[in-house]
Amino acid sequence: MTSEDWQTVAMPTSEASAQVLIGLLQSEGIPARLKANVPVPGLSLSFRVQVPGDQVRRAEDVLRGSQVTEEELTQLAVGTNPPDGG
């Protein structure tokens, strides 16, 4: 599959969040990959979750249905629990 065959479906703010989204998509049987803008090793400026072009609509439906916030993605990625509400 060439790079032209892959389309961006999400642009999370951290690599950890991107990995959670990739895991979600893959758990639904959708191939997914991470593309990062890395100007120098160790410094990533942006992250894109990509899927094959023929899976875009399905991936968008899965992501839309998940309704996970960026904060929740980070908590899932690093294994922390949200603060108690009361």
Confidence of residue 47 (pLDDT cuts 50, 70, 90): very high
When divided into structural domains, the chain yields a total of: 1
Looking at the DSSP bridge assignments, the partners of residue 36 are: 47
Which residues span the domain enclosing 48? 3-68
Residue 75 covered by a domain: no
Q: Give domain status of residue 29, yes or no.
A: yes
In a domain, 23, yes or no: yes
Could you tell me if residue 31 is inside a domain? yes
pLDDT of residue 38: 80
What is this structure's pTM? 0.73
Q: What is the CATH number of the domain that holds 17?
A: 3.30.70.1530
Non-local CB neighbours of 27 within 8 Å, separated by 6+ positions: none
Is residue 30 included in any domain, yes or no?
Answer: yes
User: Within a domain: residue 83?
Assistant: no
Residue 77 covered by a domain = no
**Burial (0-12, 13-18, 19+ Cβ within 10 Å), 18:** buried
- Tell me the torsion sign for CA atoms 8, 33, 58, 68: negative
